[in-house]
Structures are given as C-alpha cells and as structure tokens.
A = this chain, B = another copy of it.
Amino acid sequence: MPLIDESARGFYVIPATPFTDDGAMDWTSTDRLMDFYLDCGCDGITILGMMGEAQKLSQEESAGFVARVLKRVGTRTPVVVGVTSAGFSLMGDLARHSMDLGAAGVMVAGVGALRTDDQIHGYFESVVKELGPEIPVVLQDFPQVNNVYLSPNLVNQLFADFVTLRVLKHEEMPGLRKISKVRGAEASGTRKRRISILVGNGGQHLMQELARGADGAMTGFGFPEGLVEIIRRWFAGDKESAEDLYDAYLPVIRHENQIGLGLALRKETLRRRGAIASARARAPGPSLDADDHAELTHLLDRLERAKARLGIALPPLRMAGE
C-alpha cells in the first residue's frame, strides 16, 4: 500500500468505531462499515480519531481494530491511524503496529498544555523523532478541542523542518485565512515543499476552503458519498454544481456539527443507512432521545427531497428505518 503524502486529495472519512448494543467491539459492523465507505468512493479512511472514541478503547482493542480494518480494506484505499496519546512511547507503539500491518500513515494532535510556538514546535519535534524517518504523519490542528493553536507561520515552519509531516488536517475555526497563508507559502517560496491540506469540522466551510487551496476534507459525515462527489466536481472544474450540491447537504452538515451530540447523530445515521448494527456510543457518551430522532428524520427527509430537486445521480444507499 502506498504511503500518504503531499498529494493526498479528496475525501478521507473518519469512521465511527462500531460497538454492539452492550458496548463490545462489533467486528462484523467494522467490516460492513469499511465496505460502506469504499462503496461511497472515499479516497481514504482515518481511523481512531476523536470521532472514533479512541480514548475509550483498550490498547488491545485499538490494536485489534487497526488489524481488522487493514485486513478488510487491503490495498483498496489508504488507511491512516490516529495515534495521539499522552505518552510518546504509547504513541510510537501503536504507530509501529499500524505501519507493520499496512497503514498509509498516522495522525497526531498536540496533547497537554502547549501554549507557545516554541512549546508546540518542541512537541512535534519529539513526535517526529519518536516516529522515525519512515512513518508519514498527518498533523491534526484542532484547537477547539485540545487548545493548541498553530499560527500559519508555525505550520509552515513545522512542515519545513520535519519532512515526515505530509498532511495538515485543518480544523481551526475560523480558519479560512489560515489556509490561504499556508498554501500561499508555497507560491511565495517561503516553504519549498508542497503539503496536503485536508479540512475537518464536518466540512462546514468546505467550498470556501477548497477555493483557498484545500485539497479536500478529512472528517466524519453520515453521507460520505456527498462529500466525495462535491470534491470531485470541484476539482473537475464544475464548481457551481459542486456548491449547489454542497448547499443541499449543508443543513445536515451543520446539524451533525454539534460537539458531543454529533457522534450520536453520525452513528445513528450510519445505522439507519445499514452501515452499522448499533448506534451505541461507549460511556460516557451521547445518545439520542425521541426529539433528537424526530429532528434527524426531518432533516434527512429534507435532504432526500433536496437531492431529488438537483436530480442527483448518486446511488441511493440503503436507509434503514428508525
């Protein structure tokens, strides 16, 4: 399997981790979910992100999940593994295990009180050293959650200094100018090397982000085939039709982006679509009540009508009943 690099483009989905109703790992749904993502046309899969409830898995479960996913996906699409940990040796162990089994790279976010540019630079210097020269790294920039803020200049410095950093998972909000400045550093020659920029946050500002130089998105979403198609149309030059399609999905994109509850909404959407058997999140975690279910149903019905109005030829992926 080729490794992830600066040419990464398109839609990398961040999967939920499927559990059974009693909270055990659901290996059957794991396989089914991967097939679903591949059917959706995803350009890559990034497991064990925050959306994947990684911090509630035992280390044995994490290692097993990596193995199961890599076996199922094989060489069909690149798989990136989130390995962020409070300890560098734990991070390194999971990273090496994943690469040995065929992962395309790993994703790391800052952990702990990293406030200043120097602290953040020192942190990623140690990360890169721990991971060694062979493992390509997606740098996850997610200040809303980890309170680690990377300025555009610092991003450029990090990618100039550490060659194993290949992809920026960009999630600062607001963050549109950051994309312009990070991409602009290549045009101006401030940074010699191209990097890939994939955006998160459910793609809430995706069209603006693409216009400013993003290469796509890496995020959870209940309708991956939508983001796949939007990004494909964009890069095919069909920008207005891409944005029309985007606007059809926007009410759901925005609805899913409720921190905390979003996990439950996405798992339920995947369950309704037949991709996983149970929407259960591990405790402590969110679940949906009757109002939440009705609200979701209403929005998904409207999405179907909006897609119909646009005459979208997307394959009608199965939608299970509530």
Contacts and interface: CB of A to CB of B under 8 A. Distances in A.
B208 A295 contact: yes
Given A126-B283, A295-B208, A149 B56 contact: no
A291 B59 CA distance: 39
A89 B23 contact: yes
> In the complex this chain forms, how many copies of it are found?
4
Contacts of A255: 205, 208
A3 interface: no
Interface string A102-119: 000000000111011111
Contact of A86 (B56, B212, B289): B56
A149 B282 CA distance: 24
A241 interface: no
A88 B93 CA distance: 24
Interface string A156-189: 0000000000000000011011001000000000
Contacts of A53: 87
Given A119-B151, A151-B117, A154-B117, A295 B176 contact: yes
Contact of A251 (B115, B154, B250): B250
Contacts of A243: 302
B59 A59 contact: yes
A284 B23 CA distance: 32
Contacts of A211: 295
Contact of A254 (B55, B149, B250, B259): B250
28 contacts: A53-B87, A55-B86, A55-B87, A56-B87, A58-B59, A58-B90, A58-B93, A87-B282, A87-B283, A87-B284, A88-B283, A112-B284, A113-B260, A116-B151, A118-B151, A118-B153, A126-B283, A130-B283, A174-B258, A174-B260, A174-B262, A176-B292, A204-B254, A205-B254, A211-B295, A247-B250, A247-B306, A254-B254
